[in-house]
Amino acid sequence: MEAHFSPPAAATAVADPDHPHHDLIEQLTCLETLPDHTFGPHLFALIFSMECNFRDEEARMEELGLPGLHNHREQHARVLAALHNVVPDVMLGRFDAARHAIELLQRWVPLDHATIDAEIAVKLDLTQASWPRIQRHQQEESSNSR
């Protein structure tokens, strides 16, 4: 089964905070079953996708003034560092460490979502604001200040 990822779509702001996590879990599941000769490019696409998702998520947290932002950024940095550390091995045709990292990520993503990411969903529900509305408001303010 050949998996196809579209990282740019993951980089767009999504109103539903669950959406990036759902996509990430799908990518991890696909990576788990890929043969070695196609694993590398898909791992690199996953890393790109995660970087984009993390930036978006951190921007939402900052915009909403959520207190867990610093710790959340630290977790994201650690996850990305671990993934970047396995890239040289993958480029040399050694996949064990990367496949193990994928297994660990499959455990981490639901935990990440259940703890810190839940803050975003609660805040969005309480304010009845979706991310696109926040962006639209920012654009209007930017246009009015010109």
Q: What is the CA radius of gyration of the chain?
A: 17
Residue 146: its pLDDT value, please?
61
Percent of the chain whose predicted confidence (pLDDT) is above 90:
42
How far is it, in rounded angstroms, from Cα 14 to Cα 11? Answer: 9
Per-residue pLDDT of 97-108, as tens digits, reads: 999 999 999 999
Per-residue pLDDT of 61-88, as tens digits, reads: 898 888 888 988 999 999 999 999 999 9
Q: Which CATH architecture has domain 18-144?
A: Up-down Bundle (1.20)
Give 32-89 as a DSSP string. Answer: HH--HHHHHHHHHHHHHHHHHHHHHHHHHHHHHT-TTHHHHHHHHHHHHHHHHHHHHH
How far is it, in rounded angstroms, from Cα 7 to Cα 24? Answer: 10
Cβ distance 91 to 40 under 8 Å? yes
Per-residue pLDDT of 107-116, as tens digits, reads: 998 888 777 6
Per-residue pLDDT of 5-60, as tens digits, reads: 333 333 333 345 455 677 888 889 999 999 999 999 999 999 999 999 899 888 98
DSSP structural state of residue 17:
T
Residue 122: its pLDDT value, please?
75
Contacts of 74-77 spanning 24+ positions with Cβ under 8 A: 75/112, 75/116
